[in-house]
């Protein structure tokens, strides 16, 4: 099972995306755990996750989070996928980052 941390400014808007990602992963029989957290929480728990994805609203902190977790894939979700709540595109991004 892969663990995906979604990060936004308060952990609220990204939580809506969690259901879409879980649904898309289920269709692919890809076992995941997904949680949405705030950027401040991510700094404390990032090491517990396989991949960290930042929402567009916190993309400006990408370099800082990458530096904090150099052994983890850390990327931003593109604005289009985020805006459309495109769970399938995000699962594809995760699988690419983790080479699954």
Q: Catalytic positions, please?
A: 8
How many Å separate Cα 54 from the centre of its chain? 6
DSSP 53-73: EE-GGGGGGHHHHHHH-TTS-
Could you tell me which of 83, 76, 81 has the C-alpha nearest to residue 97? 76
Angle between helix axes 87-98 and 13-27 (nearest 10 degrees) is 70
Place of tokens 């370099």: 63
């Amino acid at each position: 099972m892969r663990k995906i941390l979604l990060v936004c400014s308060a952990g609220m808007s990204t939580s809506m995306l969690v259901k879409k990602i879980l649904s898309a992963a289920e269709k692919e029989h890809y076992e995941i755990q997904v949680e949405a957290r705030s950027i401040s929480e991510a700094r404390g728990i990032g090491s517990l996750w396989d991949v960290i994805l930042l929402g567009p609203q916190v993309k400006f902190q990408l370099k800082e989070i990458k530096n904090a977790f150099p052994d983890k894939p850390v990327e931003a979700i593109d604005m289009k996928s985020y805006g459309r709540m495109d769970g399938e595109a995000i699962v594809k991004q995760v699988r690419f980052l983790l080479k699954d």
